[in-house]
């Protein structure tokens, strides 16, 4: 029997909470983004009996290009909506997994050589809207288009924007038609207002990440908030170059939004400004990059902001949207907005005013950069509470003790040669250890929150990275061959992702042997359109594209064919790039830092104190390590009124359920592929289900194409 509300006393926290979280018709469960379900049919006593209810195969995994599924499915009126590796949107019977319809945004593109595989991006979810009568719409992004789809039949709603799709290049108050613009996270809807964020390039020539709102019925722009302020707007003076708004990009709300429907406030966690690792062209604190923003959802007017990193040159953008919660601190209820970060910090703000609930101190940080033209902020904000949910430093004592002796010595030697004394150590030509790392701490999956107890649950990565700055030349040398020009252009445009020798780095693939996979035409399409983590390079002229292709594809004639430079765009030229997004690994590919490499943390937001902390995942490569080791993890958790915390996310391809009170592992299931996604929880005809997307494709795991739903036996 459903009750209007329940009162639960746990861990000293008491609150009244309406049973309004029994559906999953919004991304991450609700507009508040708290990853919570009030369903409790599955609980700590019976979770061990979970069995597979159904499995749905999308049939379009791309193992060659390491496709993924990062989607948090939604369920409306017994219909489950999700996306496939190739960005198809589908509808299933939520009870049986039987397919009802599929929408293919690329159905007019016949072959891979024409770009089918090259214009894909990951989709983490979709938004649902209805007029409560007959109009039911699903909004999601594929490529650079936001699609409006009839939820009943999977057809485009033609009177929205142009033939049911909105080009995200438009309405940014700047011409970005040749730049990379997409969206990996769904929009959020307030009344009839569709609020949209974007993912953009992170290089020197990037689109701005302004937040836009559209009419949910027509696709007409209603308002825009300039995250890189225009002249006369607040924050414009935090960019030393008054023309920065014309050419600086980034500062984008790529990770989604949360919404206080009662107050009409939308909240965003904004990313860093481009270029990520050198700020000599964007001196100043760079508002509203790296900011928590509260905007009037009706007008887009700023209510408050807080900047978590000043003049970011470490790619420490906010990685997940705020959670809107009510906590009790010192006996008083507080409506709060909570943000977890890559650095492991947790910020808690009064939802209406933006005042920190726990004090934040501006502390001095290193400022001596070896990069000419750089000027770092002398201070950075540090919250006094809650405690960070990961280690904050990497010392020589933290080198992985399970490495073979020769590897341990090699890692120790490299460690000594890198700059490593502070989490805000400047990027350097000698190499700087970035820890907490580029993928956190907290990642895009975000935390979950239990409104019954006031406890926050967050999964964290604990991997060290190394960034090495390198001088680059943007000018052609006299008598260059196409091969030589290609190598120079590769260094300027591609090396930061794919490494000095095309070997790949971080989450970016190796280009060695790529000539065996792509024809010339297919490779040119890749440069033009981009694919997943790779932006489009439309700003390069045909000569430059041919030179890069000649170098990467090892075209023999390029060794003697003379290159003629046709342009030099000094506006976007930078003196430095990096040698790659490189994790700090041993020669065998093992983490340089000691385990745990992934953790799951429970923190009481009313007191700021830890309740429990456990490793998340296990790397079986280290037989002599204290198990489990934890692994890198991507995707979030879900907490339930049944006393459970569900999470997949790890590269060991397991789906787990923990006791939310103690952290005890109660159930785990071996998935067919790793699930780098957040689970969804819903009910059909009185029966509770838990569903997870199993797409793999990251961390050298195989790609998959399945959604698996679990339930209790009848």
Residue 129 CA to residue 138 CA, distance in Å, equals: 7
Residue 447: is its pLDDT beyond 70? yes
CA 645, CA 661: separation in Å to the nearest integer? 9
Is 154 in the same domain as 254?
Answer: yes
CA distances from 459 to 340, 455, 456 (A): 10, 13, 10
Taking 60 as the threshold, does the pLDDT of residue 2 lie above it? no
307 — pLDDT class (breaks 50, 70, 90) = very high
> What is the number of other CB atoms lying within 10 angstroms of the CB of residue 671?
20
| Residues 541 and 683 occupy one common structural domain | no
252, pLDDT greater than 90: yes
Lowest-confidence pick of 228-242, 300-314, 521-535: 521-535
Cα dihedral sign for 351, 352, 354, 359? negative
Question: How far apart (Å, rounded) are the C-alpha atoms in residues 439 and 282?
Answer: 23
Q: Do 84 and 153 belong together in one domain? A: no
Decide which of 596 and 109 is more confident. Answer: 596
In angstroms, rounded to a whole number, what is the distance separating the alpha carbons of residues 436 and 596? 13
Give the residue from 573, 608, 633 where a domain finishes. 573
Instruction: Verify that 634 and 660 share a domain, yes or no.
Output: yes
* CB contact at 8 A, 711 and 688: yes
User: Are 368 and 299 within one domain?
Assistant: yes
Residues 16 and 132 in one domain: no
Taking the C-alpha atoms of residue 431 and residue 470, their distance in angstroms, rounded to an integer, is 10
- State the Cα–Cα distance between residues 145 and 141, nearest whole angstrom: 6
Calculate the CA 552 to chain-centre distance: 29
User: Could you report the per-residue pLDDT of 203-226, keeping only the tens digit for each?
Assistant: 888 999 999 999 999 999 999 999
Whether residue 696 has pLDDT greater than 80: yes
Do both 618 and 557 map to the same domain? no
**Domain co-membership, 209 together with 346:** yes
> Per the structure block, which two tokens stand in for 543?
């000569």
Residue 14 has pLDDT above 70, yes or no: no
> Any idea which of 192-201, 401-410, 510-519, 600-609 has the lowest mean pLDDT?
510-519
Please report the beta strands in 351-477, taking only residues with DSSP state E, as ranges in sequence order: 360-364, 379-383, 432-434, 448-450, 455-461, 465-467, 469-471
Q: What local confidence, expressed as pLDDT, does residue 534 receive?
A: 66
Query: What pLDDT is attached to residue 148?
Result: 98
Q: At what angle do helices 542-552 and 520-529 cross, to 10 degrees?
A: 120
Query: Which CATH number goes with the domain that contains 43?
Result: 2.140.10.10
Residue 618 lies in a domain: yes
Number of domains in the chain: 3
For residue range 18-40, list pLDDT tens digits in order.
468 999 999 999 999 999 999 99
Report the pLDDT value the prediction gives residue 6, as an integer from 0 to 100.
33
Q: pLDDT per residue over 660-685, tens digit each?
A: 999 999 999 999 999 999 999 999 99
Phi-psi region for residue 211, left (φ > 0), alpha (ψ -120 to 50) or beta? beta
**Greatest CA separation for the chain:** 81
Give 654: exposed, middle or buried? Use CB within 10 Å, 0-12, 13-18, 19+.
buried
> Mean pLDDT over residues 432-458, rounded?
97
Separation of alpha carbons 310 and 282, rounded Å? 12
Same domain for 512 and 621, yes or no, is no
Q: Is the pLDDT of residue 227 over 80?
A: yes
Domain boundary among 389, 410, 429: 389
Q: Indicate whether 606 belongs to any domain.
A: yes
pLDDT in tens, 150-194: 999 999 999 999 999 999 999 999 999 988 899 999 999 999 999
pLDDT value, residue 113: 36
Residue labelled with tokens 């997994």:
97
- Per residue in 126-136, pLDDT tens? 999 999 999 99
Antiparallel, parallel or unpaired: β 469-471 and 448-450: unpaired
pLDDT of residue 524: 67
H/E element, 26: none
Per-residue pLDDT at 110: 43
Confidence of residue 108 (pLDDT cuts 50, 70, 90): low
Higher pLDDT pick, 148 / 180: 148
pLDDT for the residue 1: 31
- Residue 687 domain flag: yes
- Number of residues that this document lists for the chain: 714
Task: Please give the angle made by the CA atoms of 460, 461 and 465, to the nearest 5 degrees.
Answer: 150
What is the reported pLDDT for 12? 39
Q: Is residue 432 part of a domain?
A: no
203 plus 351 within the same structural domain:
yes
Nearest CA to 312 out of 275, 362, 340, 344 is that of 275
Are the C-beta atoms of residues 97 and 707 closer than 8 Å to each other? Answer: yes
3-state secondary structure of 516: helix
CA distance 283 to 376: 8
Question: 705 vs 37, 564, 633, 675, CA distance in Å?
Answer: 26, 46, 19, 10
Query: Which pLDDT belongs to residue 197?
Result: 98
Whole-number pLDDT of residue 114: 35
Q: What does pLDDT average to over the chain?
A: 91
Residue 688 lies in a domain: yes
Parent domain of 556? 473-573
Residue 464, burial from CB neighbour count under 10 angstroms (0-12, 13-18, 19+): buried
- Within this chain, do residues 329 and 359 fall inside the same structural domain, yes or no? yes
Domain annotation covers residue 242: yes
Residue 361: inside a domain = yes
Residue 235 belongs to some domain of the structure: yes
Percent of all residues in the chain with a pLDDT value above 90, rounded to a whole number: 77
118 pLDDT higher than 60: no
CA distance 629 to 595: 6
What CATH number did the domain enclosing 484 receive? 1.10.760.10
Mean pLDDT of 622-646: 95
Q: Which of 373, 389, 405 is the last residue of a domain?
A: 389
- Are 134 and 33 within one domain? no
What number of other Cβ atoms are within 10 A of residue 500's Cβ? Answer: 16
Kindly report, residue by residue over 448-497, the tens digit of the pLDDT. Answer: 999 999 999 999 999 999 999 999 866 777 778 888 877 787 877 787 77
CB neighbour list of residue 96: distance below 8 Å, 6 or more residues apart: 54
Q: Give the pLDDT of residue 112.
A: 39
Return the axis-axis angle of helices 542-552 and 482-493, rounded to nearest 10°: 100
Position 562 scores a pLDDT of: 82
The pLDDT, as a whole number, for residue 421 is: 95
Q: What is the distance between the alpha carbons of residues 23 and 29, in angstroms, rounded to a whole number?
A: 7
Query: Which carries the bigger pLDDT value, residue 390 or residue 522?
Result: 390
């Amino acid at each position: 029997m459903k009750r209007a509300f329940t009162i639960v006393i746990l861990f000293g926290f008491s609150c009244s909470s309406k049973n309004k979280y029994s559906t999953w018709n919004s991304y991450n469960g609700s507009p508040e983004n708290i990853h919570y379900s009030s369903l409790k049919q599955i609980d700590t006593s019976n979770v061990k009996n979970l069995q597979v209810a159904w499995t749905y195969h999308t049939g379009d995994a791309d193992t060659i290009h390491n496709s993924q599924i990062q989607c948090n499915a939604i369920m409306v009126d017994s219909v489950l909506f999700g996306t496939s590796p190739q960005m198809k949107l589908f509808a299933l019977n939520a009870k049986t997994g039987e397919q009802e319809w599929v929408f293919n945004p690329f159905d007019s593109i016949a072959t891979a050589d024409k770009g089918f595989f090259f214009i894909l991006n990951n989709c983490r979810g979709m938004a649902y809207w209805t007029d409560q009568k007959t109009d039911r719409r699903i909004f999601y992004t594929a490529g650079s288009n936001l699609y409006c789809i009839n939820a009943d039949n999977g057809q485009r709603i033609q009177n929205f924007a142009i033939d049911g799709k909105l080009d995200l290049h438009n309405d940014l108050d700047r011409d970005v038609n040749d730049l990379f613009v997409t969206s990996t996270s769904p929009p959020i809807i307030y009344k009839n207002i569709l609020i949209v964020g974007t993912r953009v390039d992170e290089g020197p020539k990037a689109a701005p990440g302004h937040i836009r709102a559209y009419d949910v019925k027509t696709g007409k722009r209603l308002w825009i908030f300039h995250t890189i302020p225009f002249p006369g707007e607040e924050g414009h003076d935090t960019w030393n170059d008054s023309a920065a708004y014309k050419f600086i990009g980034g500062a984008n709300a790529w990770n989604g939004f949360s919404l206080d429907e009662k107050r009409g406030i939308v909240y965003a966690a904004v990313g860093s400004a481009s270029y990520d690792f050198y700020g000599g062209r964007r001196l100043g604190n760079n508002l509203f990059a790296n900011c928590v923003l509260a905007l009037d959802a009706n007008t887009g007017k700023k209510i408050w902001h807080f900047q978590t990193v000043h003049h970011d040159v470490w790619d420490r953008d906010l990685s997940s949207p705020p959670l809107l919660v009510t906590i009790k601190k010192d006996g008083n209820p507080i409506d709060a907005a909570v943000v977890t970060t890559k650095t492991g910090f947790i910020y808690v703000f009064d939802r209406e005013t933006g005042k920190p609930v726990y004090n934040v101190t501006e502390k001095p940080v290193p400022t001596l950069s070896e990069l000419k033209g750089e000027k770092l902020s002398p201070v950075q904000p540090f919250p006094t509470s809650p405690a960070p949910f990961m280690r904050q430093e990497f010392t020589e004592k933290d080198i992985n003790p399970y490495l073979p002796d020769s590897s341990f010595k090699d890692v120790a030697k490299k460690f000594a040669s890198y700059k490593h004394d502070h989490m805000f150590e400047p990027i350097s030509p000698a190499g700087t250890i970035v820890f907490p790392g580029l993928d956190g701490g907290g990642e895009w999956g975000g935390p979950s929150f239990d409104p019954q107890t006031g406890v926050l649950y967050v999964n964290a990565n604990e991997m060290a990275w190394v960034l090495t700055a390198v001088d680059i030349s943007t000018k052609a040398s006299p008598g260059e061959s196409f091969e030589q020009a290609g190598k120079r252009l590769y260094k300027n445009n591609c090396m930061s992702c794919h490494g000095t020798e095309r070997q790949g780095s971080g989450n970016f693939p190796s280009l060695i042997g790529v000539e065996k996979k792509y024809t010339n035409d297919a490779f040119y399409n890749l440069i033009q359109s981009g694919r997943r983590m790779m932006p489009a390079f439309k700003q390069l002229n045909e000569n430059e594209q041919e030179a890069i292709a000649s170098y990467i594809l090892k075209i023999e004639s390029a060794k003697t064919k003379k290159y003629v430079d046709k342009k030099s765009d000094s506006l976007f030229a930078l003196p430095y790039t990096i040698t790659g997004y490189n994790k700090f690994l041993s020669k065998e590919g093992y983490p340089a830092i000691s385990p745990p490499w992934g953790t799951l943390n429970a923190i009481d937001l009313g007191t700021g104190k830890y309740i429990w902390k456990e490793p998340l995942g296990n790397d079986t490569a280290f037989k002599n390590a204290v198990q489990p080791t934890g692994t890198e993890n991507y995707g979030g958790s879900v907490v339930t009124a049944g006393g459970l915390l569900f999470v997949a996310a790890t590269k060991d391809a397991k789906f787990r359920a923990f006791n939310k009170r103690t952290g005890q592992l109660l159930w785990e299931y071996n998935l067919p592929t790793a699930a780098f996604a957040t689970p969804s929880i819903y009910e059909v005809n009185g029966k509770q289900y838990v569903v997870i997307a199993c797409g793999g494709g990251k961390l050298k795991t195989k790609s998959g194409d399945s959604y698996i739903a679990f339930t209790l036996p009848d």
